[in-house]
A and B are shown apart, each in its own frame.
Chain A
Amino acid sequence: MSGALLQVDGLRVDYSTRGRWKEVVHDISFEVPAGKVVALVGESGSGKSTVSQALIRRLPENGRITGGSIRFAGNDLVRLPERALRKIRGAQIGFVPQDPGSSLNPLMRVGEQIAETLRIHRRMPRAAAAARAVEILDEVGIPEPALRASQYPHELSGGLRQRALIGIAWACGPQFVIADEPTSALDVTVQRHVLDQLDELVQQHGTAVLLITHDLAVAADRADEIIVMYQGEIVERGATADVLNAPTHEYTRRLVAAAPGLREGRLVPQVQAGEESALFAAFRERVAAQAGSSAPSARAESILEVRGLGKTYGVRGGSFLAADDVSFAVPRGKTLSIVGESGSGKTTSARIAARLVQPDAGTILLDGEDITRATGESLRQLRRRMQVVYQNPFGSLDPRMTVERIVAEPLRSFRVGDRSSQRLLVRELLERVRLSSELADRRPGELSGGQRQRVAIARALAIGPELMILDEPVSALDVSVQEQILQLLVDLQAEFGLSYLFISHDLGVVRQISDRIVVMQKGRVVESGDAADVLGAPAHEYTRELIAAIPGSSAVSG
């Protein structure tokens, strides 16, 4: 046997759906050497999370291990009795779950939850465990650990909760930790701090880590070795630098190309060749003429301009300044991005611009016309010119409607065309966003996240708007899917002359699509300018921090 701490040999996992068993992980073998960080990279459905769950035999009820062995510290975890396995879980193998929102018991104080692990595995007395829990919170970089230990999970931010979960994983000094997408629910800046913390623990304790992630850039920054999974099989493995610089498998090459942190500059539109019906040609002409990059000079230079926006939300025990004197202008036919972390006011500003939230102060000009006070029918008519695409493609589509009805909804609302022409246009729109028109009869529940977001884009496009407000349109998606959606947006912009107001927390995404960038922090605009200037020569400290937080940046520079 080699010096590997964990050795997986020929692992196979089956899942059953409606009583039929299907193999989803096919004959996987890999090892994790002691003290190393190994990243398991793949998209949703690649089986990477299934592998991580199988390692500690924590598969969901409809999953089972059908073959192979998992050797860890002299035991085969596949065959070990449940009682013995329980001693290993938590004590020798730590687990950092994906979702800090639901992985802590909401009714237990944070300190108690860490102490619980210590009391179970170390048989520590209550008082000692409580004291040690505070120390652990301190070790994972949580400020005021004694106070935090006495708080409930909902009183902590997502980043702090994830740190607490990391604390639990490391509480008993494990030799091996499995981190399943530990940061994908977090902002990039928070992600960086949490991953730094993870690195530090690895350095201090010599723990081996299996890092599960969909983001190759994260793996590039943090891992010694990378294993790439695709459709339940390992397609590539090797030292991090080798995998990044000389990927041998086609899929890995695509992943490397898709990672936002690993590429530079704005995406270039790719022209789509293909036939189109007279109906669609007419549609495009109408949209393009309206949105018109070749617009008559009489029009305002900026499609959307906001001046001096202010918005204060009342919260318990005070008020929260969500937007303070925010001004920006979206140039016609171009993309302006607002970037900042949660609570920076970027979404509030965009929602005010979209006339979904009423501002306390400021004016909103659409094509030079003041729309700040538009209500009723005139506000409704504005929707023809200005559309919104939401962050969460799981929430923004009515689950009971078919794709066709969803995309046709704006056409029905504004009585554009009759039933049959609507049907036809919907199908062509679906093709335009690269969805098969066969999907028209499906419901959102049957689609993947990326497909849903394409449906949402097709729906926004259907009425032929000039401006699209895109609120974190890719942050709920896998990195490889993100890149496809961004490319689609760039292509549509070129074809229809659309203008975008693009909101994101991830500067790596923003730099792929933006002409102009506005950086927001705590409700204020701290920096704005041409994308190249802001990215190339950031003037504000916060912008520099955001640039440093782009995953993969250390891999590129180093």
Chain B
Amino acid sequence: MRLLRQPGFVISLLVLLLVAVAIVAPSLLSTHDPYLSVPKDRLLPPSAEYLFGTDNLGRDLYSRVVHGTALSIVSAALAVAVGVVVGGLVGLASGFLGGPVDFAIMRLVDVLVAIPGILLALIVVATLGFGPVSIGLGVGLGAAGSFARVMRSQVLRVRNEEYVEAARTLGARMPAVVFRHVLPNAARPVIAVAALELGTAILGVSALTFLGFGAPPPAPEWGALSAAGRDFIAAQPWLSIIPGLVILAVVLAVNRVARAIGGER
């Protein structure tokens, strides 16, 4: 594998491996109880004992970041899943049916894409209530428009392939044509876009949790951790900066690996 000779790609893979462990078994990585406050150890700078320092309640920031991974990434993954499924089906219907249906759907998608994603997500969260699930839904809906466009363009390409017409002349019914031939052949680029979109979704989810729309405290979502450090930004800047850097690193790693999935080197 040529990719494995590229340090950037290898580092990205390692970061994602750490993220995966942090989601499945956070206690393997964490050094302290993320919810236990030790009053005498308040607002300590990073040290060997507390890797990322401690917060104003004397909790270990590193352990909180580790335990917050699942909440943050799962919301983002949910967002991508919602985007792929909703956007994919809309794009599939639009591309396959064509004509006035296609026109109507795509104009609605234009409207959807014109609304800033974060605003759309805020509307959804405000309607459904706070929490990681509604954040996932909100961010996902914001991403659905671009998935619909990608899927539609792929379906338009595949729909005119000879094997699709051949399937019809072989007596295949419409659903069989769509799900056996069109969808599998149109899906690959959509999957590549989905992988890229995961990074964006992590940013979106973090932004919303930063604003306080996520799980209620003391849940250690990354955005919320960063937000909590705002009050101490002058004296203890690491409280905000370190969770921010973690988000940055994960998003960069996701993008690097996603580009590889998309076929880039």
Which A residues contact B (CB, under 8 angstroms)? 354, 356, 380-381, 383-384, 387-388, 390, 392, 395-400, 409-410, 412-414, 456, 459-460, 463
Chain A contact residues, majority secondary structure: loop
Closest to A377 in B: B173
CB-based contact A400/B171 at 8 Å:
no
Enumerate chain B residues within 8 angstroms of A390, measured Cβ to Cβ.
162, 166
Closest to A380 in B: B171
CB-based contact B176/A413 at 8 Å:
yes
Taking the complex as formed, is B234 at the interface, i.e. its CB lies under 8 A from any CB of chain A?
no
Q: For the complex, what is the distance from the CA of A118 to the CA of B181, rounded to whole Å?
A: 49
- How near does chain A come to B93, taking the closest CB pair, in angstroms? 20
**With contact pairs A388-B166, A390-B166, A413-B176 given, residues A398 and B171 touching in the complex (Cβ less than 8 Å):** no
Closest 7 A-B residue pairs measured CB to CB?
A383-B171, A395-B162, A413-B171, A410-B170, A396-B162, A398-B163, A388-B169
- Residue from the list A388, A400, A413, A463 in contact with B173, Cβ < 8 A: A413
- Residue from the list A356, A395, A410, A459 in contact with B161, Cβ < 8 A: A395
- How near does chain A come to B188, taking the closest CB pair, in angstroms? 9
How many of B's residues come within 8 Å of A, CB to CB? Answer: 16
Enumerate chain A residues within 8 angstroms of B180, measured Cβ to Cβ.
398, 409
Closest to A406 in B: B163
Known: A398-B180, A398-B185. 7 other contacts (CB 8 A): A387-B169, A395-B163, A396-B166, A397-B166, A410-B172, A456-B166, A460-B170
Enumerate chain B residues within 8 angstroms of A356, measured Cβ to Cβ.
165, 169
With most chain A CB atoms within 10 A of its CB, the pick from B161, B166, B172, B173 is B166
Enumerate chain A residues within 8 angstroms of B166, measured Cβ to Cβ.
388, 390, 396-397, 456
29 contacts between A and B (CB under 8 A): A354-B169, A356-B169, A381-B171, A383-B169, A383-B170, A384-B171, A387-B169, A387-B170, A388-B166, A390-B166, A392-B162, A395-B161, A395-B162, A395-B163, A396-B163, A397-B163, A399-B163, A399-B185, A400-B185, A409-B170, A409-B180, A410-B171, A412-B176, A413-B170, A413-B171, A413-B176, A459-B170, A463-B170, A463-B171
Closest to A383 in B: B171
Closest to A387 in B: B169
Enumerate chain B residues within 8 angstroms of A354, measured Cβ to Cβ.
169
Taking the complex as formed, is B184 at the interface, i.e. its CB lies under 8 A from any CB of chain A?
yes
Enumerate chain B residues within 8 angstroms of A381, measured Cβ to Cβ.
171
Enumerate chain B residues within 8 angstroms of A414, measured Cβ to Cβ.
171
Enumerate chain A residues within 8 angstroms of B165, measured Cβ to Cβ.
356
Taking the complex as formed, is B23 at the interface, i.e. its CB lies under 8 A from any CB of chain A?
no
Enumerate chain A residues within 8 angstroms of B176, measured Cβ to Cβ.
412-413
Enumerate chain A residues within 8 angstroms of B181, measured Cβ to Cβ.
398
Taking the complex as formed, is B178 at the interface, i.e. its CB lies under 8 A from any CB of chain A?
no
Taking the complex as formed, is B167 at the interface, i.e. its CB lies under 8 A from any CB of chain A?
yes
- How near does chain B come to A376, taking the closest CB pair, in angstroms? 10
